[in-house]
Amino acid sequence: MATVKMSRTCPLWCSKYFWEGQALDKRQTIALAHLGPDTPWYKRLVVRHRRLLGLLLPAAFFHMVWWALAVRYNLWQLFPDRYFISITMIFGSMIAGMTSEGGGAVAFPVMTLAFKIAPSVARDFSLMIQSCGMTAAAFTIFFMRVQLEWYSVIFCSAGGAFGMVIGLEFIDPILSAPQKKMGFVCVWFSFAFALFLLNRYHKRKTFSKIPDFKIWKSGALLLTGFFGGVFSAIAGSGLDICSFSILTLLFRVSEKVATPTSVILMAGNTMIGFFWRQLMMTTVSQDAWDYLAVCVPIVVIGAPLGSVLSSHFHRLVLASLVYVLDAAALISAFIIVPLSPALIGLSVGIIVFGFVFFYLITLAGQKLLRGMNEDINPDKIDNAIDDDNRVNVLDDTNTNDENESPGDHQDHEAGTKDCISEGATLIQNTTSCTRV
């Protein structure tokens, strides 16, 4: 009996956490629902196989360009001495597309901690490679019509552009290499720990967009973008995780929406950083260009593939990836970086301050949610999202067990929604699930 129950519940568990279904915008769900036997073949191809096309098109474009340059400039000669970066970015590009961390969150600590590469070179490489890989992933996200938080895209992008320039020109030069390494890992470990504590709250409401948007929220997003741009200027990654932290902790946007939003933000921010370093400051080293040459054909496949996979994962799986990555980076930094008493004190101080800051943001989010529940009818929130052509609320907004642990999945059988067929949409009790 136990064996039969296990055989039934194991597929349900895997389906819930690793193939939950994509959160698509309303245009795509309508297009899928209206496919019929009389639909032209080309329209069926674009609508039904949007994932595959979104993965192949950017990869084909970048590969055509790269192969032409490889033949012209004999780029093969670069691989024997730099293959370790290529291997690193196989995993880095997948993580960049799957999480809010960005490829720089893997490239920067690995290059600086494991391979002893100068932080400035690692930062420049992170900006350059993400301007290719994250742009490819962004195309995939747009093409698949995955749900995004557009207020964050607009306002964080504006603040991030300004922060990137200020960070490159004035802040990065005054920091030492060890300070950059330890500061990067300590700040984001604090965020990961705060997110872990937040996700321990059962029945936590999350939204597919910032609810009840007001002017002060645009200011908060601008400020978030500015500090994220500064972090990106220092370590090659930062705007994505800053946006992700504010969306999830303060505004309670689901990780399933915040993650692709962070990919879009980082794609734009890294292009600005690459432009400024190469054309305005003219200080990008040849080493960074060589590392870029051996990684482009890898990341333009890995990052879009990561975006496709993460669009099907449960939000708690995405959050768990953030926990693991940030904890591993912190432990590695304390093992590898030569630590002086002053640097140890600074690192511990950053962790404590960061945790307090993110915890206060979490409390502010709880207060905002309580005030919203008192002042606004939830039906009005759903209608507002409908009017913006978004799926009402992600399936964990109104479910009673969305934050259960993986061991509690038996109770979730009724809440796990199996879509009627490929391309079908099931809406039940104001929740929506889209499997494509």
Mean pLDDT estimate for the chain: 80
Q: Rounded CA gap, 368 and 429, in Å?
A: 24
Q: Which range in 1-10, 21-30, 120-129 is most confidently predicted, on average pLDDT?
A: 120-129
Predicted local distance difference test score (pLDDT) of residue 406: 43
Predicted local distance difference test score (pLDDT) of residue 391: 40
Is 9 contained in some domain?
Answer: no
**432 — pLDDT class (breaks 50, 70, 90):** very low
- The mean per-residue pLDDT over the stretch 188-211 comes to 81
List, for residues 38-84, the tens digit of each pLDDT value: 778 777 777 777 888 888 999 999 999 999 999 999 999 999 999 99
Task: Say yes or no to pLDDT of 338 above 90.
Answer: no
Is 165 contained in some domain?
Answer: yes
Is 129 contained in some domain?
Answer: yes
Predicted local distance difference test score (pLDDT) of residue 217: 96
Predicted local distance difference test score (pLDDT) of residue 243: 93
List, for residues 280-314, the tens digit of each pLDDT value: 999 999 999 999 999 999 999 998 888 888 777 77
List, for residues 320-332, the tens digit of each pLDDT value: 888 888 888 889 8
Is 204 contained in some domain?
Answer: yes
Task: Say yes or no to pLDDT of 405 above 70.
Answer: no
10 class by beta-carbon count within 10 Å (0-12 exposed, 13-18 middle, 19+ buried): exposed
Going 110 to 112 to 116 to 117, the CA torsion angle's sign is: positive
* Cα-based distances in Å from 340 to 109, 112, 179, 187, 234: 19, 17, 11, 19, 21
Q: Which range in 159-163, 340-344, 425-429 is most confidently predicted, on average pLDDT?
A: 159-163
Both structure tokens of 339: 């630590």
Is 89 contained in some domain?
Answer: yes
Is 411 contained in some domain?
Answer: no
Q: Which domain range does residue 123 map to?
A: 19-401+424-434
- The mean per-residue pLDDT over the stretch 220-239 comes to 93
Please report which residue ranges of 21-76 form alpha helices under DSSP H: 26-33, 41-48, 50-73
- The mean per-residue pLDDT over the stretch 401-412 comes to 43
Task: Say yes or no to pLDDT of 376 above 80.
Answer: no
pTM of the model: 0.78
Predicted local distance difference test score (pLDDT) of residue 375: 62
Between 411 and 168, whose confidence is greater? 168
State percent of the chain over pLDDT 90.
41
Task: Say yes or no to pLDDT of 141 above 60.
Answer: yes
Task: Say yes or no to pLDDT of 420 above 70.
Answer: no
Between 206 and 419, whose confidence is greater? 206
Asked if 25 contacts 390 with a C-beta cutoff of 8 angstroms, the reply is yes
Task: Say yes or no to pLDDT of 318 above 90.
Answer: no
Q: Rounded CA gap, 364 and 98, in Å?
A: 28
Domain count, the chain: 1
Task: Say yes or no to pLDDT of 155 above 70.
Answer: yes
Is 278 contained in some domain?
Answer: yes
Predicted local distance difference test score (pLDDT) of residue 333: 86
Task: Say yes or no to pLDDT of 343 above 90.
Answer: yes
Q: List, in sequence order, every residue forming a beta bridge with 427; answer none if it has no partner.
A: 432
Q: Rounded CA gap, 88 and 105, in Å?
A: 12
Strand, coil or helix: 433: strand
Is 333 contained in some domain?
Answer: yes
- The mean per-residue pLDDT over the stretch 124-142 comes to 92
